[in-house]
């Protein structure tokens, strides 16, 4: 085995040490024949790991949770799932390998998904199929390349076993995802503490969360504002890139402001506010156009957990203060959305220029109405603007001609540059790549990863990934649980 040229970063369990009531020591099941399907060399180096070490037997043992110290843990949390409260969820098929300080001095979690049944498994087998684990890797790398805050995959490994099918009747190849996150603290973590644990534990959780993610927040109210501002920025970016998370339950809202848990997610082809691709979102709760409102709803649930910590003597005053913060969410979201839209359209926008921001938002509202009416591709339209291709809407569209004139006036001599991706994890292409991986061919996934990790630059040989492909009218995504 090759000896690493620098010390292996030391893992810790700072969360379990600070708030032991919210974790249980638990060890991942040993996979029978683990093999790397993909290793994120760049991320490994960010964390302080030599890629060669992670490919060694000792590195594979680390990535699969087969080490003694520190003891790995499964985290407890609760949450609202599709609007209904579930008092106990937790890491049913995952363990926290630990946290470490990366080469930039930032503390980050290493989390192992598909690690087998834990005390929170709720009857499941704790396994994960290869396809959904690779989806998390592809989507996380795409988000990172677009500078959208996101968890990322350090590695995806096959386990050498066939597991019970999550869809259909054919057994699926088992897999493990090693995920890197700012942390795995969620709205659902605070809900579990509020519903099950006493005030000292809630205060310990508050202190740990504040210290780790929002040290500028001196009070619970300021923490609520910091989390709300972060979510406004995140969801605005999702909307601009045409991303549909698919399952925005409160246990899937990270307090760090990162996107997390890319299960039945998808991207827009044709622009549609009502687009739903998740097989489990039968009522359309988490449709593309609903995401900002759902984020605010989730934040309201977070605020409820903080009320006793805000003002123990006067609950009504705590409600008033929290409501005051939540009422600002729409404004924070629209400011972030308008700023990002101006960049996508090549319109200069100074901070604090509310009049010009309003003009951008009005222009955007008209544009997206036309894109939906004319069934125009979301990603393709913005890329065409950047490349100077005018004919994205049907020839002779008077509405678009009028819109284009107003756009020209607002943008002046500028033009969008390097902000509108060419390559996105299109539903048809990602689905085809995951199906190939299921059958043992990982090349299409590696090719798609290559494309989305540098999404702005056209490359020879990747032409087939530029367009939407044919995902079919009834295309659905599955979460893999």
Catalytic residues: 251
Could you tell me how many residues make up the chain?
481
Alpha carbon distance 467, 481 (integer Å): 30
Distances 353 to 240, 306, 338, 340 between C-alpha atoms, Å: 20, 34, 11, 14
Cis check: omega of the bond before 70, within 30 degrees of 0: yes
CB 405, CB 298: distance < 8 Å: no
- Strand (E) or helix (H) holding 378: helix 378-387
| Burial label, 38 (beta-carbon count in 10 A; 0-12, 13-18, 19+) | buried
Distances 147 to 250, 309, 421, 453, 460 between C-alpha atoms, Å: 23, 34, 12, 11, 24
Distances 119 to 122, 190, 354 between C-alpha atoms, Å: 8, 19, 51
Query: Which of 341, 355, 253, 340 has the alpha carbon at shortest distance from 303?
Result: 253
Residue 160, SS3 per DSSP: strand
Strands 107-113 and 152-163: unpaired
CB 80, CB 95: distance < 8 Å: no
**Would the CA dihedral through 7, 24, 252, 475 be positive or negative?**
positive
Alpha carbon distance 259, 266 (integer Å): 13
Per-residue DSSP letters for 313-354?
S-HHHHHHHHHHHHTTHHHHHHHHHHHHHHHHHT----TT-H
Alpha carbon distance 305, 85 (integer Å): 13
The angle formed by the CA atoms of residues 187, 188 and 192, to the nearest 5 degrees, is 125
């Amino acid at each position: 085995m090759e000896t690493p040229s620098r010390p292996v970063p030391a893992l810790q369990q700072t969360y379990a040490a600070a708030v032991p009531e919210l974790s249980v020591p638990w060890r991942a099941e040993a996979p029978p024949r683990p093999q790397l399907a993909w290793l994120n060399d760049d991320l490994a180096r960010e964390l302080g790991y030599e890629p060669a070490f992670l490919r060694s037997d000792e590195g594979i043992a680390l990535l699969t949770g087969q080490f003694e110290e520190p003891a790995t843990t499964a985290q407890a949390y609760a949450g609202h799932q599709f609007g209904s409260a579930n008092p106990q969820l937790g890491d049913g098929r995952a363990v926290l390998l630990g946290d470490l300080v990366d080469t930039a001095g930032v503390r980050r979690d290493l989390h192992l998904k598909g690690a087998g049944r834990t005390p929170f498994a709720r009857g499941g087998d704790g396994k994960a199929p290869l396809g959904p684990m690779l989806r998390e890797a592809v989507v996380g790398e795409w988000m990172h390349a677009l500078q959208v805050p996101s968890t990322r995959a350090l590695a995806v490994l096959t386990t050498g076993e066939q597991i019970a099918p999550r869809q259909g009747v054919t057994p699926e190849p088992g897999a493990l995802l090693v995920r890197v996150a700012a942390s795995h603290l969620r709205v659902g973590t605070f809900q579990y503490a509020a519903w099950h644990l006493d005030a000292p534990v809630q205060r310990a959780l508050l202190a740990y969360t504040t210290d780790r993610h929002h040290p500028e927040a001196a009070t619970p109210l300021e923490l609520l504002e910091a989390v709300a501002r972060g979510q406004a920025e995140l969801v605005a970016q999702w909307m601009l890139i045409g991303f549909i998370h698919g399952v925005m339950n409160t246990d899937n809202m990270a307090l760090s402001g990162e996107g997390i848990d890319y299960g039945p997610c998808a991207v827009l082809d044709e622009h549609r506010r009502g687009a739903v691709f998740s097989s489990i979102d039968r009522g359309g709760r988490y449709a593309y156009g609903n995401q900002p409102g759902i984020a605010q709803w989730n934040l309201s649930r977070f605020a409820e957990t903080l009320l006793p910590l805000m003002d123990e003597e006067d609950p009504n005053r705590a409600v008033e203060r929290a409501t005051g913060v939540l009422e600002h969410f729409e404004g924070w979201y629209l400011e972030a959305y308008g700023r990002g839209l101006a960049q996508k359209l090549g319109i200069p926008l100074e901070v604090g220029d509310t009049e010009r921001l309003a003009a951008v938002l009005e222009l955007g509202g008209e544009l997206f109405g036309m894109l939906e009416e004319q069934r125009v591709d979301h990603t393709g339209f913005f890329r065409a603007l950047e490349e100077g291709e005018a004919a994205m809407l049907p020839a002779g569209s008077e509405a678009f001609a009028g819109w284009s004139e107003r756009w020209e006036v607002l943008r002046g001599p500028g033009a969008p540059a390097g902000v509108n991706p060419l390559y996105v994890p299109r539903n048809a292409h990602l689905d085809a790549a995951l199906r190939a991986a299921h059958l043992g061919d990982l090349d299409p996934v590696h090719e798609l990863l290559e494309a989305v990790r540098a999404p702005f630059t056209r490359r020879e040989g990747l032409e087939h990934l530029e367009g939407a492909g044919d995902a079919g009218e009834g295309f659905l995504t599955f979460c893999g649980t």
